[in-house]
Amino acid sequence: MVPYELLQDLNRLVCSSKNKKIESLFIKLASADENSFCDWILRNHRNSIIEREMSSPVTLDGFHYLIKNQDSLNDTPTQILFPPGKVYLELYVLLALNMDHEKLKLTLLPFNKFLIFVKRGVRDNIEDEVKDKIMTDVSTLFDMCENERLEEEEEAERLEEERLEEERLEEERVHHERISLEEMHENNPGGNTHQQMRSIATYRFAFGYLAQSWTNLIKDHIQRQNSPEYWSGVMNILNSYSLHRTGEVLSSLPYIPDMRDSGSECARIFARIPGYFQMYGKTAAYNLINRDIFGALKMPTAQQTGHHQDDTDYSEFYELGRDPNPEGPTRHDEDEEEEELDEMASEDVLECSFIFFTSMILAQIEELIKQH
């Protein structure tokens, strides 16, 4: 529905300027405004929720009858004196008497010929109580139509914001992924092929292990909840083994997380993965990566949530961006050390920012694997 103030301003401008282009614009907007309300009535004339809001039984059906029979009523207005339209005559008398009302004027314009006949030819002998009920209903219908329009606009704006945010996050992910790959090659001057291949092999293993572990972790915590519909989109992603598909993950989340500052942290964690797995083994690496994610998201640390705190100095591969023990064995090929998985609370695991962060990391690993 076009804002009434805009239409009134245009109407005054038409009268003062006599400009045909402005007049044409006014007619188009007025028609759109009328069509908006009329279309809404046609869609909702059997809506039980709206019907319950009506004080009079004739109001909603009366508007529907008027709109459906616009041409015939304008051509032969006397038919309203007989069934089936006669039952709505009280509504039409009141509309005719209020044709110049701000809220009604533009909408009633297409029915002008019919309503003028009613105004001139039908006596107003309607009881005051009935008048109040019908006019209250008329106002309610216009307000409900306008509120629905505003809600649709807000929803459209929200979806557009989500789309733009998704595009921004994807661009950020690609940007930081490229930087990570460049840093990895810069930290291997002369192209230490053996070390690079060993890192790629570790990334391949890490992808499978992390994807499976995070999928099982998130599914387990969702299944503990009493809201399966709330998490149905995420469960579909997990069941289709698509946690690494960031676009699908983002659209499946119950709400869009604020990830504006996470891109660079994700790139840092991504660069640490080979060192974690090769030096500490898969379970410890998994724990460390999760703790890094919680730290990047400024969520409670392992110590704050009751997890055992790891005091090892990881600065060697944090700063150098390379495997800390390039000539040594890869720990994920050995028997797993006695390391227990950190326990994580459902409110942490099911934080949408955590779920999306895991997706970003897996997506970066997948992209690296594809290039090799």
E strand or H helix that includes residue 304 = none
Most confident of 90-94, 195-199, 228-232, 271-275: 90-94
DSSP state of 313: -
Which sequence spans correspond to the domains of the chain? 4-148, 187-370
User: Quick count: other Cβ atoms within 10 Å of Cβ 234?
Assistant: 20
Spatial distance between the Cα atoms of 225 and 238, rounded to a whole number of angstroms: 16
Q: How confident is the model at residue 123 (pLDDT cuts 50, 70, 90)?
A: confident
Spatial distance between the Cα atoms of 128 and 26, rounded to a whole number of angstroms: 36
Tell me if 202 sits within 8 A of 372, measured CB to CB: no
Burial of residue 348 (CB within 10 Å: 0-12, 13-18, 19+) is middle
Average pLDDT of span 280-286: 91
Residue 297's pLDDT is 86
Strand, helix or coil at 279?
Answer: helix
Spatial distance between the Cα atoms of 287 and 101, rounded to a whole number of angstroms: 69
Tell me if 245 sits within 8 A of 237, measured CB to CB: yes
Angstrom CA distances, 165 to 106, 148, 162, 247, 349, stand at 39, 25, 5, 11, 22
Query: How many helices (H) does the chain have, and how many strands (E)?
Result: 17, 0
Q: Please tell me the pTM assigned to this model.
A: 0.44
Rg of the chain's alpha carbons, rounded to an integer? 33
Residue 231's pLDDT is 92
184 versus 151: the higher-pLDDT residue is 151
Residue 341's pLDDT is 85
Spatial distance between the Cα atoms of 349 and 58, rounded to a whole number of angstroms: 55
List, in order, residues 6 or more apart from 63 with CB less than 8 Å away: 41, 45, 91, 141
